[in-house]
Structure 1
Amino acid sequence: MAVTDEAIARIKEMIVTGLLPAGARLPREEDLAVQLGISRNSLREAVRALTAMRILISRQGDGTYVSSLEPQLLLEELSFVADVSHGDSAAQLLEVRRLLEPQATALAAHRITDEGLAALRVVLESSMKADSVETFIAWDIAFHRAIVDTVGNPVLSLLLDTLSTHTQRVRIVRGAHLATALESVHREHEAILRALEAHDGQLAASAAMLHVSAVEQWLQARTTDLLSGGQ
């Protein structure tokens, strides 16, 4: 293991074990370098890397601190990965979404209120009136976010939101035949909402599975076309 990688691992260990809890200030550079048995240059590289990961934060003129370590902060990098993902990377992210979202939708079916269902119906009807890809995507995100938020697990909401970002969704919709894509999504959303209205967890999970799987199938077909030189 490279010296810098070892320093990163050691600092992470100090955070995990509570020696450096969230919000704690790191020891002085020279003291921490001695404690870790590395050069100050190697320590600086490790600190820069951990800062880029949002694990540490640097305060000008004050020192370096452990961040709040909140999931939203630590998952920011995953949002960027989703934004720039193509090909196999995009497929892998969608696969993770397919593993999580149907179960979240099943839980939502048992927990959603009449008020929540009414709000979802408004979102769905609004999406059907969208006059641009951007507007449609905004309603699409609102539809899925409202369902997952019903579960009441902020980490799950954040993770699923991150796995399918605004940028990624716009790219997918614009890469398909727009009218056909929107019609298909409306139909799939309607099936999900009907299952939620019936408070049928199994049916809701199946509808969500079909919805995400349809996106996966489009992406696979698109990737195959590109590899074969198609348009």
Structure 2
Amino acid sequence: MSRTDHVVDGITQMILDGELAAGDRLPIEKDLAAALRVSRGSLREGVRALTLLGVLDTRQGDGTYVTSLDANLLLGPMGLLVELQGAGNALHIHTVRRLLETEAAGLAAANVASRGDQDPTMQDGIARARAALATGEQILAGPQVENEQLIQTDVAFHGAIAELAGNPVLAALIAAFASRTLRARIWRGLTEDGAHQRTGREHELILRAVLEGDSERARVRMAAHLLDVEDFVEVTNLDTSGADTTKE
């Protein structure tokens, strides 16, 4: 194990043991290096690594702090993994996204069924989903359809369903995958007639199933919806950048 890995493991263990909590400031460099039995240089390398991972936040002139440890921060680097894996493997990325979001839709419906749509958390997610649908309808009814604006409403809708699922780790994973499939979805909207209208109708059916608390129907609706995008990616041979990789 390298010295940097030793620092990473040591600080991580301090968090797991409760010696450091979210928002806590790390001990001064000299004391922490002594406690971990490493040089200050190795300590700095380890701190930099944990900062990149979203575990620590170094503030100029104020020290280093443990972040909120929010799932979105900790899973942020997942986006890079998805980006690297997506080169030439767009279909794989979209398949994983479908699996995650299908389960999220089922969990969202189960949450509505068990907690009711008057629960504050449920109300927020439902309001966001409805707002995304309404915005999409307004854009489609306008004189000129703005493709990228519609895609943003799509992102907002799927994010709201993920929120209703009640699992922040699942929501963060979905966000990481969704952000790396945007270009392919934009390309589909530009090249496939009626794609946006069909997406809007499918979103309405997904939300209806969620609000009815029907987990199985919500899963089926979401899976069918995302299979449309998956089929488009497979047929057109798109990579995650939206570029056509079909060989001439």
Query: 1: CA distance between counterparts of 2:40 and 2:208?
Result: 61
Query: 2: CA distance between counterparts of 1:212 and 1:184?
Result: 12
Amino acid of the structure 2 residue aligned with 1:125: E
* Equivalent in the alignment of 2:107: 107
Is the contact made by 1:97 and 1:163 (CA closer than 8 Å) also made in structure 2?
Answer: yes
Query: 1: CA distance between counterparts of 2:177 and 2:245?
Result: 24
* Equivalent in the alignment of 2:40: 40
Shift of 1:194: 5.0
Query: What SS class does the counterpart of residue 95 from structure 2 fall into?
Result: helix
User: Given the alignment of the two structures, is residue 174 of structure 1 paired with residue 183 of structure 2, yes or no?
Assistant: no
More helix, by proportion: 1
Structure 1, 38-47 or 145-154: larger mean CA deviation: 145-154
Query: 2: CA distance between counterparts of 1:194 and 1:35?
Result: 56
Query: 1: CA distance between counterparts of 2:87 and 2:80?
Result: 15
Query: 1: CA distance between counterparts of 2:101 and 2:61?
Result: 44
- Report how many residues are paired: 229
Two-structure CA RMSD over aligned residues (Å): 3.3
Query: What SS class does the counterpart of residue 76 from structure 1 fall into?
Result: coil
- 5+ residue gaps, structure 2: none
Amino acid of the structure 1 residue aligned with 2:217: L
Query: 2: CA distance between counterparts of 1:228 and 1:123?
Result: 35
Query: 2: CA distance between counterparts of 1:229 and 1:17?
Result: 54
Query: 1: CA distance between counterparts of 2:233 and 2:73?
Result: 29
Query: What SS class does the counterpart of residue 103 from structure 1 fall into?
Result: helix
Shift of 1:46: 0.8
- Indicate the percent of aligned positions where both proteins have the same amino acid: 37
Compared CA separation, residues 133 and 83, structure 1 to 2 (3 A): farther
- 5+ residue gaps, structure 1: none
Amino acid of the structure 2 residue aligned with 1:119: R
Shift of 1:56: 0.9
* Equivalent in the alignment of 1:87: 87
User: Given the alignment of the two structures, is residue 206 of structure 1 paired with residue 220 of structure 2, yes or no?
Assistant: yes
TM-score (norm 2): 0.74
Which of 119, 123, 141 in structure 1 is aligned with 2:130? 119
